[in-house]
Amino acid sequence: MVDPNAKTILLICTAGITSGLLVKNMQTAADEQRLNLHIYSAPAIIAEQIIQNQKVDVLMIGPQSEYEIARLKDFLNYKAVPYKLIKKDDYETLDGEAVLKDGLTLLN
């Protein structure tokens, strides 16, 4: 069960396979730092629906889904959800700590 007080970081990408592995690495890094975070991933195609219906504090976008920024930008600004494109190197190496660090910067 997810702590309702936890901050939420959503990763979106095209297919979800790599981002699922990255989420696991990010959650491990967050747990090691004793951060109260809920990190999960979803396909980019349903991002707007998720943001509309669930609490999302930060959106991280997989590099192959960069085109989604144009589609979601106005909606994200309206909902006041900070977002960032995940660095390609961090994504390809599944560097959960680096992506978590970028996400935490957006939270603060």
Catalytic residues: 13
- When computed from its CA atoms, the radius of gyration of the chain, rounded to whole angstroms, is 13
What is the spatial distance between Cα 103 and Cα 60, in angstroms, rounded to a whole number? 7
SS3 38: strand
